[in-house]
Structure 1
């Protein structure tokens, strides 16, 4: 990926399409709105109303991982090609940023996969949902995913270096051949896109079938507890979050991965002739891929009334409603109302004066 892009950077001056200008405006807009949306998603999913569900833990971790994806994209692509700021010319940044891009992208995709599995188990009738669909299980699973994919992509930390020209390139010919012909062409596509795609697709089909069968049964249950209805409503909306984000993942991630698979198989002569078009295509497809990580907050806001309500409470647009328990306690507290007239106060004062001796150093105060 990076060798072709670095080598084609020299021919951008002859391109009719200004890649730098495109990234400077379109790329900056995606990053700014994406970072803002993900930070807001973190705040909303951290609220008590939503963080009680196991699926919300996955969406919370997904927002954190998407922030890292966008930060890696900003340093590796936006600053380098849009603003000509070469932070990857430093050896440590070269290794860490490319590792961050690969690891965080894998983590985001598999967190979405875990959310699909969580929803799939929840709508099933098996007892395993009581063990898997829990907050503690979700937190442990998120930690395992982060550790596993950090280890899987750790070879990047030793496989990249900065050459004499200041370009971040592959270390040697052996690793370069493995990375270009196998890892970036087959292994990365299978583990990053195809495997999550298949799992998410199967889980979504199962969820849709289950919900379709339960429509009439759910509508027939008129009398049910309010707390149970709220719990089912949260689960239903979290499922819609999953379905919408899964569709975005499939539509926005596949084109970039297909391009990464095809490009290494192009002949050297073809790449030299059409280097400008190849770079332009790769830049646009990578930006489309980043939209997947930048748009989740806006999808949640459009598809989830509960998410919108919590977001409104977060920004103080909706006043906090008193809890039912506090309202009942307030009603049960006795209230005392005193209506003291001036004549009644005078009579009391006279009666007190008839029984209590006067003293020049004592004073009585009655406050109501």
Structure 2
């Protein structure tokens, strides 16, 4: 083994042991706090919160099902590369929930566009009943649709992958469309449409207006959606950064599969696959909480309320609510 390949192996072990372990720990903490925020009664009034809550649950599942076995295999046998049934089931679970998460991300963007649209029909999409139906329907669809790709996985030379040439080509095309092209494109389109709708809403608000109550409700909608749009833009950036490189790698792999490769080249390609498919792509499932807390003031307020409730529960104290200037303040008694 050449020195360069040896160093790549050492780097991979360090990234897995320290890098992945760190973002799994912080990712689990962040995802659990995000779930706690979106489970609050005030948040459940918003259909978009249902999509974000469901997306966070998918992130939690993908993060642990995908990364924990990799960390475990550092000091033990890799059970996904030893047992055929584990190889198939592990891929099925993580891939299904990745696809469900991507779909919820798109639906959340559509909901953000709908809620600030001036068109009544479009606005009717942003309802809790619609959100619940779509969440359940999308989950059932993807849990059924990806069964084939889980079944197609086999173990060869100690690696769990799709080795049938036809199945591999089908998977590459399918992945590029459903993960690398459609979700980012749809997210960007509906985010831009939401921004356009917000501008139209602002143009409808006149500087002098007798109906102050209606003006205040419009401003509240605008503030809420500005927070959500900021969250979407950063999510899109990280999503594209974490998904597109692997889609490009899949094209490269499909084109070069028939070539005779040296052992060193195979090791380098294996390292690139690890970085793109495991390290970077799974990092995307650990980031949402830190994106939300850095871009949304409303999310930070809800998180602060959770900590106050938790403190009051631990200290066995009561909480009193006071309404000041249309804001609700929590006071520990």
TM-score w.r.t. structure 1 length? 0.75
Whole-angstrom distance in 2 between the partners of 1:70 and 1:146: 18
* Residue deviations 1:287-340 (CA, integer Å, cap 9, x gap): 111121110000000111111011011112898561549xxxxxxxxxxxxxxx
Q: 1:72 Cα shift?
A: 2.4
Which residues in structure 2 correspond to 1:294-305 (within 5 Å)?
294-305=286-297
Q: 1:84 Cα shift?
A: 4.2
Whole-angstrom distance in 2 between the partners of 1:219 and 1:276: 64
Distance 1:118 1:271, change over 3 A: farther
Q: Which residue of structure 2 lines up, in the alignment, with residue 16 of structure 1?
A: 7
Q: Which residue of structure 2 lines up, in the alignment, with residue 51 of structure 1?
A: 44
Distance 1:271 1:135, change over 3 A: farther
Whole-angstrom distance in 2 between the partners of 1:201 and 1:228: 24
Which residues in structure 2 correspond to 1:338-349 (within 5 Å)?
none
Q: Which residue of structure 2 lines up, in the alignment, with residue 3 of structure 1?
A: none
| Contact 1:11-1:275 at 8 Å conserved across structures | no
**SS of equivalent to 1:322:** strand
Distance 1:58 1:100, change over 3 A: same
Q: Which residue of structure 2 lines up, in the alignment, with residue 244 of structure 1?
A: 234
Which residues in structure 2 correspond to 1:290-329 (within 5 Å)?
290-316=282-308, 322-324=321-323
**SS of equivalent to 1:48:** coil
Distance 1:42 1:198, change over 3 A: same
Which residues in structure 2 correspond to 1:1-368 (within 5 Å)?
14-17=5-8, 18=10, 19-80=12-73, 82-88=74-80, 89-161=82-154, 167-170=159-162, 176-183=164-171, 185-215=172-202, 217-218=204-205, 220=207, 223-224=212-213, 229-266=219-256, 267-270=258-261, 272-286=263-277, 287-316=279-308, 322-324=321-323
Distance 1:74 1:221, change over 3 A: farther
* Residue deviations 1:252-292 (CA, integer Å, cap 9, x gap): 22112211221232253346341222122222223111121
Distance 1:291 1:106, change over 3 A: same
Whole-angstrom distance in 1 between the partners of 2:145 and 2:262: 30
Which structure is larger by alpha-carbon Rg, 1 or 2? 1
Whole-angstrom distance in 1 between the partners of 2:152 and 2:27: 30
* Residue deviations 1:141-195 (CA, integer Å, cap 9, x gap): 01111111111101134323457x765354xx7xx12222221x21111012211
Distance 1:271 1:312, change over 3 A: farther
* Residue deviations 1:77-102 (CA, integer Å, cap 9, x gap): 3333x444412123332221100121
TM-score w.r.t. structure 2 length? 0.82
Distance 1:322 1:232, change over 3 A: farther
The runs of at least 4 aligned residues of structure 1 exceeding 6 Å deviation read 10-13
Query: How well do the aligned residues superpose, as a CA RMSD in angstroms?
Result: 2.9
Query: Gaps (5+ residues) in structure 1?
Result: 1-9, 326-368
Distance 1:22 1:324, change over 3 A: closer
**SS of equivalent to 1:124:** coil
